[in-house]
Structure 1
Amino acid sequence: GVLIPNPRDIGGMIKELQGYAITTIPAVNTLYNAMLNHPDFDKLNFSKLLVANGGGMAVQEAVAKRWYERTHTPIVEGYGMSETSPCVTCNPVSVTSYSGTIGLPLPSTDISIRDDDNNEVPLGQPGEICIRGPQVMAGYWNRPDETAKVMTPDGFFKSGDVGVVSDAGYVKIVDRKKDMILVSGFNVYPNEIEDVVAKLPGVFEVAAVGVPDQHSGEAVKLFIVKKDQALTDADIFAFCKEQLTGYKRPKIIEFRTELPKSNVGKILRRELRDGRA
């Protein structure tokens, strides 16, 4: 195993990994994307790659497809959080194509999709992903009040993520509950918007957030880092008009040289939303 202390330095990371026949790589979507866009990517030896794991944030279809084309190995997506030590679900390692799901629950793990009143929603309907299993925490250290907010009476941990379960039992994350945008009474999920916009060839990274709007309550705003400097907001508006239904289309676009990220590379939508970044 090779440990990379600073995955933000893509060139340095590639240099460290050169010469190794890489068999497994765990990363978040932004890191896969940055690697694919680096001129030295082809110096890495992925001929022995067995599995590339994706987690931490949604794996975008555009990134997954390009990764598969370059390495002939799919990104296998899973899901979990600190409170679940950390794994809850994972796709089978035998998958060969992008599905957009986080897979099946791990052994001894129960998943329940619930509404705000703690009732299970019908199969195929979105609700909060609630998790019960041996890996779920007993509670937050010395914070019984915080613990009570996230645990259901029957022992499920409320994840704060909105998800849907398919007939076959596969779980799909819709988005973080707190990141949902309410446009004229309709729920708009940033993941869906970002997944669409990421397919536009001139886009390197994108984040969608809700901003106050006097007509619709909230409107969709995009923060975009360009891959192609010739890209204009008119190009993006036109692409979104083709790809997205009216209320989901962005009203405002702001170009940035970079987006704020956590230590592991998750894009921090909250900082963008609050104007702190």
Structure 2
Amino acid sequence: MSSNRKPWLASYGSMPAEIDADVAPSVVALAEAAMTQFADKTAFQCLGQSLSYAEVDRQSRAFAAWLQNKLGVKKGDRIAVMTPNFIAFPVAFLGIARAGAVQVNVNPLYTPRELEHQLRDAGARAMLVFSGVSATVADIIGKPGIALEAVLTIAPGDGTRAQVPSPPVDARLQNTVAFADALREGDDLLFLQYTGGTTGLSKGASLSHRNLVANIQQYKAIAANTLRPGEEVVVTAIPLYHIFALMVNFITYFTVGAENWLVPNPRDMDGFVNVLQAARPTVFTGVNTLYAGLVAHPKIGEVDFSRLRQAAGGGAAVIEATSERWLKITGRFIREGYGLSETSPILSFNPENISAFNGTTGLPLPSTDIRLIREDGTDAPLGESGEVCAKGPLPPKRSGRCVSPDLQAHLLDRPSESALDARHVVARDGRVIVLANVSALVGRDDEGNGFFDPTFGHLLPADR
């Protein structure tokens, strides 16, 4: 497609316009190659404990065997995971993937009502839950439509040799299995990734292995110099149950043998800064509030950021003043990106040839097209508003959402494209600017939850 249709291509420089979404048959294949190549390297650090790539390989195989042999899990079964950033998360993820099951990521801060909706909607067969939030599961276990056959409980030190203190499991939960015991006994869809629920009920976005492999390749194309095999050190404070941390911090950097420092509780800013001091990261990701908290911390100046090659931000607009303060402290500005669960997740990002903060979310990734559509279905002329749609190696369903038709009815039907959720987007010289969530309530379901209208945005001429 010409640069007239994709104006951002003129800004790509040496970056490829297209990627190969079929470079690997699955995320498991990419992970297994990394676990072989980097077997002796440290894969994860958390709470003073570490796990090598070889240990992740062994333990995830053991968990896959437990799922298949003890629980009878088969391809396509849904397994829910509700835990903070503990080492158990990546081990469980790879075990679930190796068993051919579908992981359903659950926010540990969910209320019982939110959890009940998600488990019922996903049809989860089993669940892994941090013991500290097991009361939420106990509140909804046995309710109509909740078909959990097994509940496995996670302690902070699971997957390591440490006996880290853990809150007790709620006494109402009977016949639970400790994740650590499952690991000892063990000796196509990849996720049902739920959206944040900003436009009503949380909705399941069906992400396949190919979707994730494609987005890994897209990110590698746009951030190649921060993906040096065996050299990167990543600090992961944003939750792994969010798709960006899952795809970028964990999976993408795992494939290149990075050392990943997991932060279970970033609200503990003193402990968070201590992790940064110990890790001396080469890559860091966060949201604006996280960066703002760090730059305001009295000891942030004691952190050695001399190795930092990239600081990425998203989830909400990065404020210029925050980026300026971060730049002054670390020598790196915050590179903003944009995406959603439905887009696996990155849609646009500020690539390496962008040399300063610009208040935009960067360029659409290789093999991606963005359109702005008017209500009559025609392309919006420059300067006019329209529904934001994206096309590329995205989830195969039009909206990417695995929900009932009545929950999808408010989205426009555009073949081979994903209609994105309620964002106000402006593209200038091909760069994407996310202004605000401007959705409007258009209806309610039987439980009183609101539905919202599709995205509207503007595409401005290059000279504006």
Shorter chain as normaliser: what TM range? 0.5 to 0.7
Query: Does the CA contact (< 8 Å) of 1:127 and 1:163 recur in 2?
Result: no
User: For residue 147 of structure 1, what is the aligned residue in structure 2?
Assistant: 408
Residue 114, structure 1, aligned to residue 114, structure 2: no
Please report how far the alpha carbon of residue 137 of structure 1 lies from its aligned counterpart in structure 2 after TM superposition: 5.2
Residue 28, structure 1, aligned to residue 287, structure 2: yes
Query: Does the CA contact (< 8 Å) of 2:396 and 2:416 recur in 1?
Result: no
User: For residue 189 of structure 2, what is the aligned residue in structure 1?
Assistant: none
Please report how far the alpha carbon of residue 117 of structure 1 lies from its aligned counterpart in structure 2 after TM superposition: 4.1
Q: Structure 1 118/76 Cα, relative in aligned 2: closer, same or farther at 3 Å? A: same
Q: Distance in 2 between matches of 1:42 and 1:158?
A: 43
User: For residue 161 of structure 1, what is the aligned residue in structure 2?
Assistant: 423
Q: Structure 1 127/71 Cα, relative in aligned 2: closer, same or farther at 3 Å? A: farther
Matches within 5 A, 1:192-271: none
What CA deviation, in whole Å up to 9, does each residue of 1:91-148 have, x standing for no partner?
1123221111111111221111233444322224443321122123523224233334
Q: Which amino acid aligns with 1:68?
A: L
User: For residue 90 of structure 1, what is the aligned residue in structure 2?
Assistant: 349
What CA deviation, in whole Å up to 9, does each residue of 1:22-68 have, x standing for no partner?
10001000000000001111121111110000111001111111111
Q: Distance in 2 between matches of 1:175 and 1:128?
A: 14
Q: Secondary structure at the match of 1:18?
A: helix
Q: Which amino acid aligns with 1:140?
A: R
Residue 53, structure 1, aligned to residue 312, structure 2: yes
Please report how far the alpha carbon of residue 2 of structure 1 lies from its aligned counterpart in structure 2 after TM superposition: 0.6
Aligned length: 179
Residue 75, structure 1, aligned to residue 334, structure 2: yes
Greater share of strand residues, 1 or 2?
1
What CA deviation, in whole Å up to 9, does each residue of 1:180-238 have, x standing for no partner?
9xxxxxxxxxxxxxxxxxxxxxxxxxxxxxxxxxxxxxxxxxxxxxxxxxxxxxxxxxx
Q: Distance in 1 between matches of 2:374 and 2:344?
A: 24
Q: Structure 1 126/115 Cα, relative in aligned 2: closer, same or farther at 3 Å? A: same
Q: Structure 1 147/71 Cα, relative in aligned 2: closer, same or farther at 3 Å? A: same
Please report how far the alpha carbon of residue 151 of structure 1 lies from its aligned counterpart in structure 2 after TM superposition: 4.6
Query: Does the CA contact (< 8 Å) of 2:349 and 2:364 recur in 1?
Result: yes
Q: Distance in 1 between matches of 2:440 and 2:284?
A: 28
Larger radius of gyration: 2
Q: Secondary structure at the match of 1:165?
A: strand
Alignment RMSD:
2.1
User: For residue 66 of structure 2, what is the aligned residue in structure 1?
Assistant: none
What CA deviation, in whole Å up to 9, does each residue of 1:233-264 have, x standing for no partner?
xxxxxxxxxxxxxxxxxxxxxxxxxxxxxxxx
Q: Which runs of 4+ in 1 moved over 3 A?
A: 115-119, 124-128
Q: Distance in 2 between matches of 1:6 and 1:116?
A: 44
Q: Structure 1 32/118 Cα, relative in aligned 2: closer, same or farther at 3 Å? A: farther
Query: Does the CA contact (< 8 Å) of 1:111 and 1:132 recur in 2?
Result: yes
Q: Structure 1 124/2 Cα, relative in aligned 2: closer, same or farther at 3 Å? A: farther
TM-score (norm 2): 0.36
Q: Structure 1 117/7 Cα, relative in aligned 2: closer, same or farther at 3 Å? A: farther
Q: Distance in 2 between matches of 1:25 and 1:179?
A: 34
Q: Which runs of 5+ in 1 are unaligned?
A: 181-277
Q: Distance in 2 between matches of 1:144 and 1:114?
A: 22
User: For residue 40 of structure 1, what is the aligned residue in structure 2?
Assistant: 299
User: For residue 448 of structure 2, what is the aligned residue in structure 1?
Assistant: none
**Sequence identity (%):** 39
Residue 15, structure 1, aligned to residue 277, structure 2: no
Q: Could you say which structure has the greater relative contact order, defined with CA pairs below 8 angstroms and 6 or more residues apart?
A: 2
Q: Secondary structure at the match of 1:112?
A: strand
User: For residue 174 of structure 1, what is the aligned residue in structure 2?
Assistant: 435
TM-score (norm 1): 0.59
Q: Distance in 2 between matches of 1:112 and 1:72?
A: 35
Q: Distance in 1 between matches of 2:412 and 2:265?
A: 35
Q: Distance in 2 between matches of 1:97 and 1:163?
A: 21
Q: Distance in 1 between matches of 2:347 and 2:385?
A: 18
Query: Does the CA contact (< 8 Å) of 2:394 and 2:418 recur in 1?
Result: no
Q: Distance in 1 between matches of 2:380 and 2:332?
A: 35
Query: Does the CA contact (< 8 Å) of 1:113 and 1:164 recur in 2?
Result: no
2:362 to 92, 103, 107: 103
Query: Does the CA contact (< 8 Å) of 2:261 and 2:279 recur in 1?
Result: no
Q: Structure 1 23/116 Cα, relative in aligned 2: closer, same or farther at 3 Å? A: same
Query: Does the CA contact (< 8 Å) of 2:291 and 2:326 recur in 1?
Result: yes
User: For residue 209 of structure 1, what is the aligned residue in structure 2?
Assistant: none
Q: Distance in 2 between matches of 1:158 and 1:75?
A: 28
Q: Secondary structure at the match of 1:11?
A: helix
Q: Which amino acid aligns with 2:402?
A: W
